[in-house]
Amino acid sequence: MSVLNGKKVLLGVSGGIAAYKTASLVRLFIKAGAHVQVIMTPASKDFVTPLTLSTLSKNPVHSSFFNTDDENAVWNNHVDLALWADLMLIAPATANTLSKMVTGNSDNLLIATYLSAKCPVYFAPAMDLDMYKHPSSLQSFDSLKQFGNIMIPAENGELASGLSGEGRMAEPENIIAFLEADLESKLPLKGKKILITAGPTYEAIDPVRFIGNHSSGKMGFDIANEAAKLGAKVILIAGPTHFKVKNSSVEVVNVVSAQEMYDACHQHYNDVDVAIAAAAVADYKPKVVALQKIKKAADEFSIELEKTKDILASLGTIKKNQFLIGFALETQNEIENAKLKIQKKNLDLIVLNSLQDEGAGFKKETNKVTFIDKNFNIEPMELKSKEAVATDILRKVIEHFG
């Protein structure tokens, strides 16, 4: 899955012949899973039509501060456009547009939006070879890079003038590849390997019945998806659940029982940097599993149970440099019980949630957690969506690795 998947991309198109390539560029962004909005300078519409880019981006194209065709003269808010974007790309970036970006000459919607942008800004110059090497152009490149903007260098090739040389805007495929490589290199968990457990375990009574719990697995799946988005290589060991990973780079290991989850965790644990045990593992299992379906006969029926292996404690025992995170779902004496679990299981961090809190627990879209680290520093959090809680958990991982 592309790192551009889900990203909000603001594409600025200025008035050069290379503007015709932006149709392919928008299509590639959409194919990568990005959301695209386009701002065109008035001159760029001589080279590619707003209708083309609107159709491909599935969004209206913006070109002026006001929609003059609208009787109500709706204002295109450059600040809103700038704040919407996760990244801004100006391609083609002509000598004229580059100069305005440097000097702040805000005489069109594109420059006004650029000056309001808080996201990373990339620019792909496009001009004839002598213009590309002119001292004023080179100064624009240097100034924009000093501002923190990122230049996608022009390529060598045939130019509109008939000459051949440097100045041709990078091909759309190469622009996408540049963006993906640059974004991936800056992901905070790039190079980290994370093991995550999710969902319940089912402990068989007979071939058709089991002991289980109400865990849906959503919390673990949200952590896995967010970790992959942040650049980590993720191994998700999942008990029975209907959830599917949104990020195809996540390696999913499906298990059913606590023993299977134990085995899978120990198979991968030595190779990971982080382990996050979000699964609700059964504490007990039937001592004897019937090979055939147990018939309903007696008025009373007893099942002898025995403890399952404690996965989290076993990982804590063999921990080397792994950052080990556990979960605690408590109903009473929450903080003290969580602290005991940190000590007994050699954890670095515990994510505590209480069934006493409204909106927390199994089969909920939200969760309310308290972080407690191995030094017993306590950080209570507000009620949030489980996606937001996943982000908070991974923030702790990022902080750990500095």
Residue 284 CA to chain centroid, in angstroms? 36
Q: Look-up: residue for tokens 């022009």?
A: 154
Cβ atoms within 10 Å, residue 298: 7
CA distances from 264 to 110, 113, 159, 210, 255 (A): 52, 50, 57, 20, 8
Residues 356 and 24: their CA atoms lie apart, in Å, by: 54
Residues 93 and 15: their CA atoms lie apart, in Å, by: 8
- Give burial (CB, 10 Å; 0-12/13-18/19+) of 357: middle
- Which of 275, 262, 241, 278 is CA-nearest to residue 352? 278
Cβ atoms within 10 Å, residue 392: 17
CA distances from 228 to 1, 195, 222, 348 (A): 10, 11, 10, 21
Residues 270 and 322: their CA atoms lie apart, in Å, by: 8
In 4-44, where do the E strands start and end?
A: 8-13, 35-40
Q: Is 213 a catalytic residue?
A: yes
Residues 96 and 14 sit within 8 Å (Cβ to Cβ) = yes
Residues 308 and 210: their CA atoms lie apart, in Å, by: 14
- Tokens standing for residue 180: 């993906």
- Which of 305, 350, 343, 302 is CA-nearest to residue 324? 350
- Which of 132, 60, 139 is CA-nearest to residue 93? 132
Annotated catalytic residue, options 67, 76, 77, 213: 213
| Helix %, strand %, coil % of the chain (to 5) | 35, 25, 40
Return phi, psi of residue 312, to 5°.
Answer: -65, -45
Q: Catalytic positions, please?
A: 213
